[in-house]
Amino acid sequence: MPHLASWLARLCVCAVVTAPLFSAPALAERRDDSTYQQRVVQYQQRNAERMKQTRAVTGGPEQIIKARTAATADKASLECLTEAVYFESRGEPLSGQKAVAEVIMNRVDDPRFPKSVCGVVNQSGQFSYRGNVGKMRKGAAFNTARRVAEEALAGAPRALTNGATYFHTTKVRPSWSKRFTRTTRIGAHVFYRQGGRRVASN
């Protein structure tokens, strides 16, 4: 009997000593689960806050797409206008190059022509250089054409051609020139518009 009591006492001591060992993993697991859930909530809160800030700055995903589209269109317009100024007037004085850019921008605003710079420049049968020249050579002439194009696209005043939407070199006299109003001559180019009285004879 004393033997049994001693054995039971030892058994109780072992149970007391080992109980924390068995319960610790479960507690740790619950603690880890709690920590993980807290991290998930914190991440979701931070992500929501970033989205709010993005919307506040950009107006949301739709505005971001519109901004990117506009940037791409602006880049294409600059390339098209630079090309036209370069090939149509790179041998002309600066005013002559600006006048060519002005004609293209006037066409963009005229409902009888395409509504974009590239649409105007690429319109079939309108610019003689299309398909007949090589690539632009980057140098002084290119830099000037690019600067003229940038200024025109930025809204430079159109005060050179008096609303002209057509031009030709002095080496030719196309049949259409008889139907339009001559507005001015700059360098080797003569400029015209449709309708209105003749405003220049130079």
Domain count, the chain: 1
Question: Does residue 151 belong to any structural domain of this protein?
Answer: yes
Question: Does residue 172 belong to any structural domain of this protein?
Answer: yes
Across the range 36-57, mean pLDDT stands at 66
CATH number at residue 110: 1.10.10.2520
Question: CA separation (Å) from 35 to 23, 29, 45, 93, 105?
Answer: 18, 10, 15, 73, 63
Question: Does residue 22 belong to any structural domain of this protein?
Answer: no
Is the pLDDT at 69 greater than 50, yes or no? no
Burial class (CB in 10 A: 0-12, 13-18, 19+), 172: exposed
Question: Does residue 97 belong to any structural domain of this protein?
Answer: yes
Q: What is the pLDDT of residues 107-139, one digit of tens each?
A: 999 999 999 999 999 998 888 776 666 788 889
Per the prediction, the chain carries an average pLDDT of 78
Question: Does residue 49 belong to any structural domain of this protein?
Answer: no
Question: Does residue 47 belong to any structural domain of this protein?
Answer: no
Question: Does residue 26 belong to any structural domain of this protein?
Answer: no
Q: What is the pLDDT of residues 20-40, one digit of tens each?
A: 444 444 444 444 556 767 766
Question: Does residue 103 belong to any structural domain of this protein?
Answer: yes
Residue range(s) defining the domain that contains residue 142: 74-193
